[in-house]
A and B are shown apart, each in its own frame.
Chain A
Amino acid sequence: MSTSTLQQTKVVTQRFDTADGATLDGYRKTGGYEALKKALSMTPDQIIDIVKTSGLRGRGGAGFPTGTKWSFIPKDIRPSYLVCNADEGEPGTFKDRELMERDPHQLIEGMAIGAYSIGSNEMYIFCRGEFAYAARQLERAAAEAYEAGILGKNIMGSGYDLDLIIHRGAGAYICGEETALLEAIEGRRGQPRLRPPFPATHGLFAKPTVVNNVETFACVPHIVTNGADWFKGFGTEKSPGTKMFCLSGDVERPGNYEVPFGTPARDLIEGFAGGVKGGKKLKAFTPGGASSTQFFGPDKLDTNMDWESVMAAGSLLGTGAIIVFAEDVCMIRAALRYTRFYAHESCGKCTPCREGTYWMVNTLERFENGGGRPEDLKIMDDVAGNIIGRSFCALGDFSIAPVTSTIKLFASEYKDHIEKGGCPFDR
């Protein structure tokens, strides 16, 4: 990535520009697998304690405290499983892919520490089917790790056995939902499960399971090596640590940028990413990918990017995927594309998401083709209101975000579409 005047805080991305960072040698040269060695000499409880104290929160979108999640695993039921959710599919997000491509051993080390702390001898990486290169990198790294005795029987001479299975997805965004992911590993349709019971007690193969995101696991070796306090030194009290933010869309320098939580959105968009492409004005941006419940306008550029601040500003941090739209973008076309995504990826299990997304797609298509009516705005708001909080899983909740936030922020564009009998924008 080209430079900017601001400096990233490279914790999980520190090896990205190292030529051999993805190889075992390159990983070890830069301190890799020291954390695992240290962890294997500690007790599982001690490790969970460090992670808890560090305040690490899941980076897959929900932001659930990781240490707490690990502590839910009962100690007396075995086997237990550790699963990495590498089914990155949230539009605008591309951090997990880069982490797996450029630093696969970091993920393996983080997972191994997690597995040891929950007494699991079998870890799964559920890697999206389309991530061909990332999966090859993982397979190469896993092969190296097995060869070097870091995976397999008696890892690093500790007496602990640990296996890694890389299981591929097959083209379903919904498998990023943790229970749908488990269903996919079990060879079923990827439809989310009823909770309770929760994966912590009845997860993979009905056994206690932890599911965490790639970036979450990537933080773990650093926390173990440097300590909980070190981690809390970055970011805010409620959102400690650093975060990879994915900048894309109408920006000069799209890419992943790792900064402490609390960094203002302006720094990311105008600073690191070089501002709106072609010098245009900013029309809107998403704080957390297409599933952000509310898109932001230019008035929100000074929002600090951490969970609590984004929520206070009316949206969700989610995966930290910032998609930028310039002033000449048709927001309805964008909303239509996102809504078609949700309609296509809807698993179909529950009525509101399955039928509601179908309805919204049809309505938005009508707007684009000149058939929009004024009453459609109220209807779509109602439809959205009948989906949110009523669907089986969060995909339904997120599917309405593009619709409701564009109606709220860009009602004039809808009116223009009606008056002009179609889309007045070029892009």
Chain B
Amino acid sequence: MTAEQAPVNVTIDGVDVAVPAGTLIIRAAETIGKYIPRFCDHPLLDPLGACRQCLVEVEGQRKPLTACTTPVAEGMVVKTEFASDLARDGQKGVLEFLLINHPLDCPMCDKGGECPLQDQALAYGPGGSRYIDPKRRFTKPVPISPLVKLDRERCVLCARCTRFSDQIAGDPFIELFERGALEQVAIFEDEPYESIFSGNVIQICPVGALTSSTFRFRARPFDMTSADSTCNRCASGCRITAQMRRGELVRLLAKDDGDVNDEWMCDKGRFAYQYAQRPERVVEPLVRKNGEFVAVSWAEAIEVVAGRITAAREAGKTSAVLAGQQLLDEDAYALSRFARTVLATNDVDARRAIGGEDEDGVLAAIPKTITATNQDIDSAKLVVTIGVDLHEESPIVFLRVRKAARKGIAVREIGARRSAGRVQGSTWTRCRPGAEAALLAGVARALESRGNSGLDPFTRAAMQGVEATAEAQELAAALQGVHGSVVVLAGEQLAAVPGALGLAWNITAAVGGTFGWIPRKAGARGAAWAGLHPSLLPGGRSVDNDDDRAAFGEVWGIDPPSKRGRDARAILQDASGLGVLLLAGVDPATDFQDRELGARGIDDAPFVVALDLFLTESSRRADVVLPAAAVYERGGTLQNWEGRPQPVRMAVPPAGLGQSDFEIVAQIAIEAGVQFPETVEALRKEMKALKVTPAAARPVAVGKIENAASGGLVLATRRPLIDDGTMMLGADALAQTAAPLFVEIHPDDARGLSNGDDVFVRTASGEARGPVRLTDEVARGVVFVPGHAGFTGRSGETAMVERAES
């Protein structure tokens, strides 16, 4: 052990403790259960030493020192407020100072009851105030964004919020203005605090200076019950605390989990929970009778559905399952099992867009391969993102990459548009949508000429006849020579380009890196594990593999069918020949890549059963709608993008008669005469028995890659984080923070258009209208339009941009 690594021995209040070198006194004290009061200190922020609350006495020093900025030294003897008058007086003095200008707002302040100032003033402060002069007055509260209200009188100027915004989120829209006693947190008048991470400052503010506009005056901390759960709005998998008062969800907080989300969550996860409590929720089973929905009992509904399934089977008609990607792991598994054992079909799919054979290969591989984790990002030398905008699609992973970049790792973005979030020192390789496969094939070619011997035959075949462009050369140079410390994060935009996802997977393995798949939806990885896919069975197993099927036969008692099933597109196209179409948490008429096909398929299918929270475009066309419980209303497991299973727990009872998807499916199965596990435990037992130990990555088939369309403008699109989807219902304050829609074009492609011009963007699949913004954050030859309601254009399509005549 080197000198730097050897632990350091210190004595704190007479207790000897050994801690790693570089540990701050305040952290060292925590390891022995000693809490030193603090305001500006936060373990995830750089030390500041501004509030002076954490003063301790260190033997040999004439002045008290701040425990939050002083690292331990060998043999140091520290006395905290318990053992030292100097420390105790110092802390008491600081609290007295903080209270002289602090307003007596406790009775009406949201923070009361969970307020570090209250708690610490009681424990370490003077009993009363000797101050009799006027206090500092400010107008209050002042909204600094639709979500956050600022009360400057309460602020203790700990600068946690400004440091968070600057260091962690990279959104320095709030700052400390003025000087001395006038110092205050402020924004600039026309630049509100619009950051998708703004809710975090409310949580870390140690007083009631920053409060949530949605939670304001709603509840006292001791009036709420809490459930320790996990967010399901994206695949980051933030651990959350869901809080309820009188049966109603009132607040979500981020939990502290250093392996996943540190102590952060994004505003969407934090503020968009109201959908679960909207009157639009489906609260009872609905069966269509004489063309109209009629509320029925569960018993009747289940009977109807099971009856239809049995009838279809007897008539020799296949049934199919289309699932969404926001299901919990147990639901996804239950649906997959249901399809195979009750419907006796492999016609199962959870995708909203169908990719190529490489997508099948990667989805099959993910459950049984060692894939990237947050810790891999922390310790990487290079992180490459391709086909994903982490800031919009997986914000907490974005923060993780940002944190690593601050420590000096290199970050490369490959895409048509720069990420909406700023990562220090990141380079951007421009790539038009549709050209990713060709680019990656070029990278493979360049790697080969640089002597890389890890390229597999599929990749070699794909790179035949491909020249490595300058960008491809640069990427290859960056990737090579960073063995073991490369993390490649690929998003779902990549799957739309045949061969791209497979090449990304294979190339990552060829350079000794780790691959991370960043799906847009929280349940996507769980769906892949569960085999919600026409050719896959749970655990990454294949329907056409006899051994795999036999394994299931043992666990399920029934062998799964061996014929590869139809994918979602085929199911919808041939819907009229189906027996029963089961839709579980999915809205093909809105979300499917071809929405018209989605709607038509549902209309054509003879009998449609929908498990859903709302009457969506799809579920309102169904024959039976079965109310599902929202994520806050039930328990289960949700694996995040890393494949890390995380607990979901019930915070509020289900709305109306809602039940978990797996419960519904189990009841149908049993009614249809098929034995089926009915509890979470029973399902988990089966899932555990089917678990596969992840191994090193094996190459996947890439198939034929296309050369992208050249010349002209090509559309790039992806949904923003704060969008207009169904689960944003009721999140009015949050919706106001959505970025305004712009049609973004590079100045070189402007062709006479200027900023603000009203234009149409038309592709083969859809049309959008909006004001132009000329920016160099978009690659040349690309027009970027964020996804929004009614827009069906697809990335990679040729686009025409024309002025809109008024």
Direct contact of A and B (CB under 8 A): yes
A residues within 8 Å of B by Cβ? Answer: 172, 189, 194, 343-352, 354-359, 362-363, 366, 379, 382, 385-386, 389-392
Chain B residues whose CB sits within 8 angstroms of the CB of A366 once the complex forms:
133
> Quick check: which of B89-97, B537-545, B727-735 contacts chain A, the rest being far away?
B89-97
Interchain CB contact under 8 A, A348 and B97 = no
Contact of B90 among A343, A345, A349, A386 (CB under 8 A): A386
Give the docked Cα–Cα distance between A359 and B129 (Å).
12
> Quick check: which of B48-56, B461-469, B509-517, B697-705 contacts chain A, the rest being far away?
B48-56
* Cβ distance A253 to chain B, nearest Cβ, rounded Å: 36
Flag whether B119 is at the interface (Cβ < 8 A). no
Interchain CB contact under 8 A, B50 and A355 = no
Interchain CB contact under 8 A, B180 and A354 = yes
Chain A residue at minimal CB-CB distance from B55: A390
Interchain CB contact under 8 A, B96 and A386 = yes
Interchain CB contact under 8 A, A346 and B180 = yes
Interchain CB contact under 8 A, A359 and B52 = no
Chain A residue at minimal CB-CB distance from B69: A194
Interchain CB contact under 8 A, B97 and A351 = yes
Flag whether B64 is at the interface (Cβ < 8 A). yes
Interchain CB contact under 8 A, B52 and A172 = no
20 A-B interface contacts by CB (under 8 A): A194-B69, A343-B180, A344-B180, A345-B180, A347-B179, A347-B180, A347-B183, A348-B157, A349-B157, A350-B51, A351-B51, A351-B52, A352-B52, A354-B97, A354-B157, A355-B97, A358-B100, A382-B93, A386-B93, A390-B52
Flag whether B178 is at the interface (Cβ < 8 A). yes
Flag whether B63 is at the interface (Cβ < 8 A). yes
Interchain CB contact under 8 A, B50 and A352 = no
Chain B residues whose CB sits within 8 angstroms of the CB of A355 once the complex forms:
97-98, 100-101, 181
Flag whether B764 is at the interface (Cβ < 8 A). no
Chain A residues whose CB sits within 8 angstroms of the CB of B93 once the complex forms:
352, 382, 385-386, 390
Interchain CB contact under 8 A, B133 and A362 = yes
Give the docked Cα–Cα distance between A344 and B131 (Å).
20
Chain A residues whose CB sits within 8 angstroms of the CB of B279 once the complex forms:
none
Chain A residues whose CB sits within 8 angstroms of the CB of B51 once the complex forms:
350-351
Chain A residue at minimal CB-CB distance from B71: A196
Best-surrounded residue of A343, A349, A385 (most CB of chain B within 10 A): A349
Flag whether B182 is at the interface (Cβ < 8 A). yes
Which 3 pairs, one residue from A and one from B, show the smallest C-beta to C-beta distance? A386-B93, A348-B183, A362-B133
Chain A residues whose CB sits within 8 angstroms of the CB of B130 once the complex forms:
379
Give the docked Cα–Cα distance between A172 and B156 (Å).
22
* Cβ distance B498 to chain A, nearest Cβ, rounded Å: 48
Interchain CB contact under 8 A, A359 and B179 = no
Interchain CB contact under 8 A, A386 and B94 = yes
Interchain CB contact under 8 A, B179 and A172 = yes
Flag whether B647 is at the interface (Cβ < 8 A). no
Flag whether B176 is at the interface (Cβ < 8 A). yes
Chain B residues whose CB sits within 8 angstroms of the CB of A392 once the complex forms:
49-50, 52
Excluding A348-B178, A357-B180, A362-B133, 15 further A-B contacts by CB distance (< 8 Å) are A194-B48, A343-B181, A347-B183, A349-B50, A352-B97, A354-B180, A355-B98, A355-B181, A358-B181, A359-B100, A362-B134, A386-B89, A389-B62, A390-B64, A392-B49
Chain A residues whose CB sits within 8 angstroms of the CB of B157 once the complex forms:
348-349, 351, 354
Give the docked Cα–Cα distance between A357 and B101 (Å).
12
Give the docked Cα–Cα distance between A358 and B179 (Å).
12
Best-surrounded residue of A172, A194, A354 (most CB of chain B within 10 A): A354
B183-200 with Cβ < 8 A to chain A: 183
Chain A residue at minimal CB-CB distance from B94: A351
Best-surrounded residue of A344, A345, A352, A355 (most CB of chain B within 10 A): A355
Chain B residues whose CB sits within 8 angstroms of the CB of A362 once the complex forms:
133-134
Interchain CB contact under 8 A, A350 and B181 = no
| Tally of chain B residues near chain A (CB < 8 A) | 35
Flag whether B635 is at the interface (Cβ < 8 A). no
Best-surrounded residue of B69, B94, B98 (most CB of chain A within 10 A): B94
Flag whether B47 is at the interface (Cβ < 8 A). yes
Interchain CB contact under 8 A, B133 and A363 = yes
Chain A residues whose CB sits within 8 angstroms of the CB of B96 once the complex forms:
386
Interchain CB contact under 8 A, B53 and A351 = yes
Give the docked Cα–Cα distance between A348 and B136 (Å).
14
* Cβ distance A360 to chain B, nearest Cβ, rounded Å: 10
B144-201 with Cβ < 8 A to chain A: 156-157, 176, 178-183
Give the docked Cα–Cα distance between A391 and B49 (Å).
10
Chain B residues whose CB sits within 8 angstroms of the CB of A343 once the complex forms:
180-181
Give the docked Cα–Cα distance between A355 and B182 (Å).
10
Chain B residue at minimal CB-CB distance from A342: B180
Interchain CB contact under 8 A, B98 and A351 = yes
Chain A residue at minimal CB-CB distance from B101: A355
Best-surrounded residue of B101, B134, B181 (most CB of chain A within 10 A): B181
B515-565 with Cβ < 8 A to chain A: none
Contact of A390 among B90, B133, B176 (CB under 8 A): B90
Interchain CB contact under 8 A, B133 and A348 = no
Chain A residues whose CB sits within 8 angstroms of the CB of B180 once the complex forms:
343-348, 354, 357-358
Contact of A354 among B47, B63, B69, B183 (CB under 8 A): B183
Q: Mark B69-108, 1 if CB is under 8 A from A, else 0.
A: 1000000000000000000011001101110110000000
Contact of B181 among A189, A357, A391 (CB under 8 A): A357
Chain B residue at minimal CB-CB distance from A189: B176
Give the docked Cα–Cα distance between A355 and B69 (Å).
21
Interchain CB contact under 8 A, B97 and A194 = no
Chain B residues whose CB sits within 8 angstroms of the CB of A358 once the complex forms:
100-101, 136, 180-181
Give the docked Cα–Cα distance between A348 and B90 (Å).
18
Give the docked Cα–Cα distance between A363 and B100 (Å).
13
Interchain CB contact under 8 A, A350 and B50 = yes
Chain A residues whose CB sits within 8 angstroms of the CB of B181 once the complex forms:
343, 346, 348, 354-355, 357-358
Chain A residues whose CB sits within 8 angstroms of the CB of B53 once the complex forms:
351
Chain A residue at minimal CB-CB distance from B39: A351
Chain A residues whose CB sits within 8 angstroms of the CB of B63 once the complex forms:
389-390
Give the docked Cα–Cα distance between A356 and B157 (Å).
14
Give the docked Cα–Cα distance between A366 and B131 (Å).
12
* Cβ distance B22 to chain A, nearest Cβ, rounded Å: 12
* Cβ distance A13 to chain B, nearest Cβ, rounded Å: 35
Chain B residues whose CB sits within 8 angstroms of the CB of A189 once the complex forms:
176, 179
* Cβ distance B497 to chain A, nearest Cβ, rounded Å: 43
Give the docked Cα–Cα distance between A355 and B180 (Å).
8
Interchain CB contact under 8 A, B179 and A386 = no
* Cβ distance B137 to chain A, nearest Cβ, rounded Å: 13
Chain A residues whose CB sits within 8 angstroms of the CB of B52 once the complex forms:
350-352, 390-392
Give the docked Cα–Cα distance between A355 and B136 (Å).
10
Give the docked Cα–Cα distance between A349 and B69 (Å).
15
Chain A residues whose CB sits within 8 angstroms of the CB of B100 once the complex forms:
355, 358-359
* Cβ distance B62 to chain A, nearest Cβ, rounded Å: 8
* Cβ distance A162 to chain B, nearest Cβ, rounded Å: 32
Contact of A386 among B48, B69, B97, B182 (CB under 8 A): B97
Give the docked Cα–Cα distance between A217 and B417 (Å).
53
Give the docked Cα–Cα distance between A344 and B51 (Å).
19
Chain B residues whose CB sits within 8 angstroms of the CB of A363 once the complex forms:
133
* Cβ distance B120 to chain A, nearest Cβ, rounded Å: 13
Give the docked Cα–Cα distance between A154 and B680 (Å).
80
Give the docked Cα–Cα distance between A15 and B63 (Å).
44
Chain B residue at minimal CB-CB distance from A359: B100
* Cβ distance A188 to chain B, nearest Cβ, rounded Å: 11
Best-surrounded residue of B52, B98, B183 (most CB of chain A within 10 A): B52
Interchain CB contact under 8 A, A346 and B179 = yes
The verdict on A359 contacting B55 (CB below 8 Å), with A343-B180, A348-B176, A351-B156 known, is no
Give the docked Cα–Cα distance between A345 and B157 (Å).
17
Best-surrounded residue of A345, A346, A351, A390 (most CB of chain B within 10 A): A351
Give the docked Cα–Cα distance between A196 and B133 (Å).
37
The verdict on A359 contacting B69 (CB below 8 Å), with A349-B50, A392-B52 known, is no
Chain B residue at minimal CB-CB distance from A344: B180
Chain A residues whose CB sits within 8 angstroms of the CB of B136 once the complex forms:
358
* Cβ distance B157 to chain A, nearest Cβ, rounded Å: 7
* Cβ distance A89 to chain B, nearest Cβ, rounded Å: 14
* Cβ distance B205 to chain A, nearest Cβ, rounded Å: 16
